[in-house]
Amino acid sequence: MGWFEKFKEKFSKPFNINLENISVSLFRINIIKDNNNKSIIIHNDSNNLSLNLANLPSQYKKELSEIVRDYLDEKNILLENNTNDLLIKLYQYNKECSDKAILNFFKLIMNLKDYEALEASLFLRKEFRSGIISGKPIINLKADIRKRFGDRGNNIANLCTAGYFEQFLMQLYNDAQKEVYNQIYEEIVNNSIVAVFVHTNMTEDEIPEQITNKINISKRYGIKFIHIHGIGKMNILKIKKCIEQEKKYFSFFDKKIYETENIIIVELIFN
């Protein structure tokens, strides 16, 4: 008897759940623990059922433990619900392969850690742009990249989001000598010299300071631009305030500003 047949046998009648002829494309049984809820919760969309361990009688907990073991024995993967959602998205991403060209290009020239950081960043970028994941989950997932690969991984994530890999680094690799490319690449991913990514914890004073530092390094490699990136209303405001207050400083650059409701990119070109 399969795990679901066992589940139906043990739980349908006692809890008055109709599990026959399930015709939806996906039916989930979610195991939860909530003292403030009843033992079985049938959700309105009929695609979901929650089993609440906090109020499930002990004999049914025992039955459920066997069902969980059977579920695993049948080669299923038992996942936490957020992990399940993320893994589904990753399978979909792997299947669609929309970033195949970028990944194939850099796979040949990057070390494995950088490549993994890039791949994860491209996935995040795709999800962010499609609006499927936003807000806190993006911050947490990006934190996973930083946790695994440090500041370098974090830089790769920022540079990837801003399109530097396909819009700048690919071209650079094709145009420059390998040694020059490697030196610039290392400066970019270690110190993100071509961009200042303004974040929540960065003060307005730090922005021109970072720009100056990065320009000094960029000039050594013949790079004559720098970008200031901000995502979110607070960061956009911070950048605009900085440009307004430091007019004299910014007057030395040719300046272009690209702005949408939620993103600002300031391009500074210098000699």
Partner 1 sequence: MNESIKLIFDKSAKEDILEFLNKKLDDNGFIVEKDQPFQKVLTFEGEEISIKELGGIQKGSEVFIKNDLISLMRFSKR
Distance CA 225, CA 269 (A): 4
Q: Which is nearer to partner 1, 82 or 216 (CB)?
A: 82
Is the distance from CB of 120 to CB of 94 less than 8 angstroms?
no
SS3 category, 44: coil
Stretch that binds partner 1, among 100-108, 142-150, 194-202, 216-224 (CB under 8 A): 142-150
User: What is Dmax (Cα atoms) for the chain?
Assistant: 78
Strands 225-231 and 195-198: parallel
Which one-letter amino acid corresponds to residue 194?
Answer: V
Q: Which is nearer to partner 1, 121 or 210 (CB)?
A: 121
150 forms part of the interface with partner 1 (CB under 8 A) = no
Please list every residue from 234 through 263 that binds partner 1, using CB under 8 A: none
CA-nearest of 87, 74, 163, 76 to 121 is: 163
CB of 120 to partner 1, least distance (A): 5
Site for partner 1 in 111-140 (CB under 8 A): 116, 119-120, 123-124
**CA dist list (Å): 147 to 134, 140, 144, 174, 184:** 20, 10, 5, 32, 24
Q: Measure the CA–CA gap between 126 and 121, rounded to whole angstroms.
A: 9
Q: Whole-number minimum distance, CB 28 to partner 1, in Å?
A: 5
Q: Which of 12, 14, 33, 254 touches partner 1 (CB under 8 A)?
A: 33
Contacts of 4 (CB under 8 A, 6+ apart): none
Q: Tokens 């996935």 correspond to what residue? A: 123
CB closer to partner 1 out of 134 and 203: 134
Q: Is 114 in contact with 156 (CB distance < 8 Å)? A: yes
Candidates 14, 18, 53, 216; binder of partner 1 (CB under 8 A) is 53
Structure tokens given for 234? 């607070």
- Smallest gap, in angstroms, from Cβ of residue 108 to partner 1? 18
Do the Cβ atoms of 257 and 266 come closer than 8 Å?
yes
Judged by CB under 8 A, does residue 77 bind partner 1? yes
1 binds partner 1 (CB under 8 A): no
Residue 78 interacts with partner 1 (CB under 8 A)? yes
Q: 80: Cβ–Cβ under 8 A, 6 or more apart, which residues? A: none
Q: Is 11 in the site for partner 1 (CB under 8 A)?
A: no
Nearer to partner 1, 165 or 173 (CB): 165
Distance CA 137, CA 82 (A): 10
Minimum CB distance to partner 1, residue 14 (Å) = 18
By CB under 8 A, residue 72 contacts partner 1: yes
Which uninterrupted H or E stretch holds 257?
strand 254-259
220 binds partner 1, rule: CB under 8 A: no
Give the nearest distance from C-beta 3 to partner 1 in angstroms.
Answer: 7
Nearer of residues 39 and 50 to partner 1, judged by Cβ: 50
Residues engaged in binding partner 1 (CB under 8 A): 2-4, 22, 24-34, 50, 53, 61, 64-65, 67-69, 71-84, 86-87, 90-91, 94, 116, 119-120, 123-124, 141, 144-145, 147-149
